[in-house]
C-alpha cells in the first residue's frame, strides 16, 4: 500500500512538472525565455517546453498597438502657443530586444513620442503646422523609428489628431480668411470692369467707323422699348447719311421695325 501511494505521489509530481513545463503562445505572441537569468531565445507560436524552476518566460505581443499621446502645449517658431495631441501606431519586431534593451518599451515609446512631437512642431511656424501636417507626421515618424529601432520597435505611422489654437488666434485667422475672400472678390470685380470697358471701347470704335451699325443698335433698342405698350418713344432724327448705302440700310431697318 505504501509503495502504491509513493508511486501515485511520484506520478502526480511528474505530471505537475510536465504540465508546468508545457507552454503555449498564440500566433501573435512570442515568449522570451530566460534560463537562470540569461537570455536564451524567443519561442512560439504554438507549444514549447521549458525547464520548471529554471526557465522564466516573458510574453510579448507582436500586434500593432496604438499609443495616444497626451495633449501637449507647443510653442511654434513664431511664438504661437497651441495644444497638439497625436496618435502613434507601432509594433514589436524583435521581442528579445524589446525586453532586454529597454525596461518598459511602451512607456519609453510614449515619452519619446511626446518630446519628439514638441521638438518637431517647435521648429516650424504656425502656418506650416496647419498646412503641412502630413509632412510633419512623416518627419516625427522617421525620428521615432530611428531611435526605437535598437529597441526592436517599429513605428508604423504618426497622426496629429487635433491642433487647438487660442481663441484670439482663431479670431485672427477668421479675419485673415475674410480679408482674403474680400480681396479676391474685389480683384474679380475689377477684372470684370476692365474687360467690360475694353468691349465698350471696341464697340465705340466700330460705331464710329460704321454709322449704319450705330443706327442698327438704335433700332434694336427701340424694338426692346416698344415691347412695353404703355410707353411713347420719341426718336430724334439722325443726320443725313454719308452715303447712299447708309441711307438704304437705314430705310430698310426702319421698315423692318415698322412691320414688327
Is 259's pLDDT higher than 70?
A: no
Which grid coordinates belong to 89? 501606431
pLDDT, residue 2, reads 56
Domain boundaries, the chain: 2-61, 65-165, 175-209, 211-260
Tell me the pLDDT tens digit for each residue of 15-59. 788 888 888 999 999 999 999 889 999 998 889 998 888 899 999
pLDDT digits (tens, 9 = 90+) for 238-254: 554 444 444 444 444 44
CATH number attached to the domain at 65-165: 3.30.479.30
Each residue's pLDDT tens digit, 184-241: 888 998 888 888 888 888 777 777 777 777 777 777 777 776 666 655 555 555 554 4
Task: Tell me if the pTM is above 0.85.
Answer: no
Task: Give the mean model confidence (pLDDT) for residues 170-194.
Answer: 84
Amino acid at each position: 500500500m505504501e509503495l502504491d501511494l509513493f508511486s501515485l505521489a511520484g506520478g502526480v509530481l511528474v505530471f505537475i512538472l510536465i504540465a508546468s513545463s508545457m507552454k503555449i503562445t498564440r500566433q501573435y505572441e512570442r515568449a522570451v525565455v530566460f534560463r537562470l537569468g540569461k537570455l536564451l531565445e524567443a519561442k512560439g507560436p504554438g507549444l514549447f517546453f521549458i525547464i520548471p524552476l529554471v526557465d522564466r518566460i516573458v510574453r510579448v505581443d507582436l500586434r500593432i498597438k496604438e499609443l495616444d499621446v497626451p495633449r501637449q502645449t507647443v510653442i511654434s517658431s513664431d511664438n504661437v502657443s497651441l495644444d497638439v495631441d497625436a496618435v502613434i501606431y507601432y509594433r514589436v519586431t524583435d521581442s528579445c530586444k524589446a525586453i532586454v534593451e529597454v525596461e518598459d518599451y511602451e512607456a519609453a515609446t510614449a515619452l519619446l513620442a511626446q518630446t519628439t512631437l514638441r521638438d518637431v512642431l517647435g521648429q516650424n511656424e504656425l502656418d506650416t503646422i496647419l498646412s503641412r501636417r502630413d509632412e510633419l507626421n512623416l518627419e516625427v515618424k522617421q525620428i521615432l523609428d530611428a531611435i526605437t529601432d535598437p529597441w526592436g520597435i517599429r513605428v508604423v505611422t504618426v497622426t496629429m489628431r487635433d491642433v487647438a489654437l487660442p481663441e484670439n488666434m482663431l479670431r485672427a485667422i477668421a479675419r485673415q480668411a475674410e480679408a482674403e475672400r474680400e480681396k479676391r472678390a474685389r480683384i474679380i470685380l475689377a477684372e470684370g470692369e476692365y474687360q467690360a470697358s475694353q468691349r465698350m471701347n471696341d464697340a465705340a470704335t466700330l460705331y464710329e467707323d460704321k454709322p449704319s451699325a450705330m443706327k442698327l443698335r438704335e433700332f434694336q433698342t427701340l424694338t426692346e422699348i416698344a415691347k412695353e405698350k404703355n410707353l411713347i418713344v420719341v426718336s430724334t432724327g439722325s443726320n443725313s447719311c454719308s452715303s447712299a448705302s447708309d441711307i438704304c440700310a437705314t430705310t430698310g431697318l426702319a421698315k423692318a421695325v415698322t412691320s414688327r
